[in-house]
Copies of this chain bind each other. A is one copy, B any other.
Amino acid sequence: MVRICRLARAGHWNIRLSQADEIGKLVFGFFNEVGIINQLATRQLESKLPGGLLISHFGVINHLMRLGDGRTPLQIATAHQVPKTTMTHTLAGLKKAGLIEFAPNPKDARSKCVMLTDAGRRFHAEAIAAIMPEFQTLLGDFPADEFAAALPFLQRLRGYMDAARD
């Protein structure tokens, strides 16, 4: 913490040093909680996914179900904030599992369109059904209002961070 104050003195900060300390802890704590909640939720969901598939797989299928299929690998990679190479690998796994198919992209011969198969749609429904009981339990102790109240800030923050990435 001494070191932090020294940095502040160097001119990067224009607020009182003790406040800087407080605020650092606050934002830091926020992202820490987000990280742990994400870890716990990931574990929980992953343990329920059929066929030993992972969150990365479910994320893609869910994306295609929500926003419609026919998207390109790069679009999906960008939406999920992962490198293209990771998405190539994830899509290969989904294709191997028979949950997606590739179609040629009529607009661009370098690209592809990712299409859901019937098995893919079935997988999505099954995964959702498997998770829902957990949500119910959760909502027994945490009223939906609280999630609803927390969501707008998270959405704004996500949009901001998304736009701010270089």
Which A residues are within 8 Å of any B CB, using their own CB? Answer: 3-4, 7, 12-13, 20, 23-24, 26-31, 33-44, 55, 59, 80-82, 125, 128-129, 132-133, 135-139, 141-142, 144, 146-151, 153-158, 160-162, 164-165
Contacts and interface: CB of A to CB of B under 8 A. Distances in A.
Interface of chain A: mostly helix, strand, loop or mixed: helix
Contacts of A4: 125, 128-129, 132
B154 A40 contact: no
Given A7-B132, A129-B4, A160-B142, A27 B147 contact: yes
Given A139-B27, A144-B26, A151-B30, A158 B36 contact: yes
Given A37-B158, A43-B165, A157-B37, A24 B151 contact: no
Contacts of A33: 151, 154-155, 158
A124 B136 CA distance: 40
A31 B38 CA distance: 7
Contacts of A147: 26-27, 30
A148 B3 contact: no
B39 A151 contact: no
